[in-house]
Every structure is written in C-alpha cells, then in structure tokens.
Amino acid sequence: MDASALLRRLRSAGAHAELRDGVIAVDGRPTRLLFGRKRLPELVLLERAAAEVAALQDNTLLIVVAPRASAAAREWVLGRPDLVTLVLDALVLHQGQVFPLEETPLAPVPKRGPRPYARYAVSRALLSGASKTDQNHLAELAGVTQGSVSTALRATDASAAPAERFDMLLRTYPGPGGQTFYWWSDRPIREQADVLRSHGTLTSGDFAADVLAPWRLSERAVSYARAPIDLSRDGFVLATESDYTAMVIVPQDPTLWATAEAWGEPDIADPLITAFDVQRTATTGDGDEAVEKLRELVVRRAQGGADG
C-alpha cells in the first residue's frame, strides 16, 4: 500500500489526513505506522507498540495497517480511540468508530485461478543450467513440490532456445503479487539499498542487476521481504507509486528465494525477476539495455548447464 491509498482510507473515515514533509499526519497529529502482512499481530505486540507510542508523550497516533483483524483485536483498538487507528482492507476503525470503506464491493469479486508461480519457478531454475532429468533436485532449486515440477515440465517447450525462454518468461510473468510498499529517502540510493539489505531482504531491480550484469546507474532500491518492514525507523517516509526511491514487496510468489539460491546468489533475485523489476522501474531510457545484459547472462548460463 502506498501513501495515497492509506490517505484515501483514512479520509473515508472522516480523518483529516495529509502528508507533511513526507510524513502522514492525522487530525494534526504525528503518526507511527505498524504493518501486518495477513492478520493483525498478537495482542501482546499491539500492546507493546501502543506503549512505545504512548511513552513518546507527543500526541502521536499509532496507525495499524493490515488486511484483516480478529474480533478481539478490533475490540482492543476500539477501546483505545485516542491512541490507535486500525486500517483494514474493508474497514477503518478510527476514534472508537467503525467505518466501512467506500470502495468495498457489495458482492464478492469472482476469484481468478491461482497464478502459476511453480511453473515459472521451474523454468527459471532450468535457465540456471539445472537438469530436467533430476526432478527432485529441480524441485529443490525451484522451491516447489516434485509434482509441480512434473506438471511444469509438461507445459515447458524444451525445444525453445534459452533466449526464447527468457523472453517468454519476461513477457508473461504475472508479477510477484502480494503487497508493495513505497518509501522515500534523500540518502544516496546505494545507502538505501544497504539499509534494505540490513533487514534481510532479497535485492532485485537495479542493484541486483549491478551484481549480476553491471550496466546502468541504479535509480531505485527494490527488494523483496517476507513480512512488511517499517523503514520510518531508518529515516524513510512512506511515499507514493509516482514518487519513491525504495520499493519493498511482500510477494505472493513464494519461490523467489529458492530461485535466487539456484543462481548462487541467495541475497540477490534471479536474473529473470531482476530483469522484470528493472523493466518496470526504469525511467532513464537505458532499462532495455540492462535487461539485454541479463538476457545474455542467462543464455550463457543455460548453455553451460546440463540438459536444461
């Protein structure tokens, strides 16, 4: 979620929410953000965060952002209207009241089928030079089950050249899904990337490309994390998709860490994911050249592998 989306949700609950020098203020109060990936943290964690905010004694409002919350967590928040605001996918709890979000659909949105992340992961593992004859090892490299490998191999055109497979995967990969958080900092971009790495993230985009196949100056820091990260403690401010310096994705695709390992760089996204992120974040016009360098790397690696 970016700052614009969060501001819209807060305003739908009647809050006067705005960005002040890159920091969200609600009803004139400073705020501190706490993110939850799927469901609110246990109450003990909420209580600890609320206690830290209360100890500041500067009228700071704790804003907790999560897709959903248990009834107990909602009751806990409602009992602390002057201290905590809760922003969920369908509701905002603010000043002791519950506000359904205006954009909440009246009827369930029809679900699409699951994204074929296992198939894409197997293809990326094959491009690392892995053999398709050892399905157990291929499953380990792709981070999927052996059954998923068998299914993926049946759907893979083994006759296609590595360059063709790279192009096809880059063109059709549906994206990592999950949650995306946009942040802004005036630090040099390399320092921002170092901060993200210090949180144990998986580096992608420009800085991953700089490790795998150096070509262009890095514009933005892009990383994958297993859970949301609060970068405000590192001097970052929540930003928008149109103006950010760092992007942190908590992906739905669970295979990214396994395929990074398959390529021998456990902290660096594999070349195809890196190319995907370079392609979607580049603004200076030389992103295509950087992707081509990654393509050349993949072709060399695949041709040097076994029978992938």
**pLDDT, mean over the chain:** 86
Instruction: Give me the domain span that covers residue 164.
Output: 117-172
Q: Which residue has the tokens 């993110």?
A: 35
Instruction: Report the CATH number that the domain containing residue 38 is assigned in CATH.
Output: 3.40.1350
46 CB-contact burial (10 Å; exposed 0-12 / middle 13-18 / buried 19+)? buried
Strand partners for 63: 33, 85
**223 lies in the same domain as 277:** yes
Asked, for residue 235, whether it belongs to a domain, the answer is yes
- What is the SS3 assignment for 111? coil
Instruction: Assign 241 a pLDDT band (cuts: 50, 70, 90).
Output: confident
pLDDT at 33 over 90: no
Alpha-carbon distance 105 to 115, whole Å? 23
Q: Where are the alpha helices (DSSP H) in the chain?
A: 3-12, 43-56, 71-78, 117-127, 135-142, 146-154, 162-172, 189-198, 205-212, 256-262, 271-281, 287-303
Q: How many CB atoms lie within 10 A of CB 57?
A: 7
Q: What six digits make up the tokens of 115?
A: 């994204």
**145 lies in the same domain as 243:** no
pTM of the shown model: 0.72
Domain count along the chain: 3
Residue 74 main-chain phi, psi, to 5 deg: -65, -40
Asked, for residue 111, whether it belongs to a domain, the answer is no
Alpha-carbon distance 129 to 298, whole Å? 9
Instruction: Assign 179 a pLDDT band (cuts: 50, 70, 90).
Output: confident
Closest CA to 268 of 240, 238, 303, 294: 294
pLDDT tens-digit readout, 251-281: 999 999 999 999 999 999 999 999 999 999 9
pLDDT tens-digit readout, 41-97: 567 778 888 899 999 889 999 998 888 888 888 889 999 999 999 898 888 999 999
Share of residues in the chain with pLDDT > 90 (%): 52
Asked, for residue 106, whether it belongs to a domain, the answer is no
Cα 81–chain centre separation: 30
pLDDT at 108 over 50: no
Which of the listed residues 130, 154, 172 is the one where a domain comes to its end? 172
* Least confidently predicted of 3-7, 200-204, 209-213, 250-254: 3-7
Alpha-carbon distance 148 to 114, whole Å? 13
Residue 51 main-chain phi, psi, to 5 deg: -65, -40
| Residues across the chain | 308
Residue 84 main-chain phi, psi, to 5 deg: -130, 135
* Least confidently predicted of 20-34, 105-119, 144-158, 210-224: 105-119
Share of residues in the chain with pLDDT > 70 (%): 91
Asked, for residue 250, whether it belongs to a domain, the answer is yes
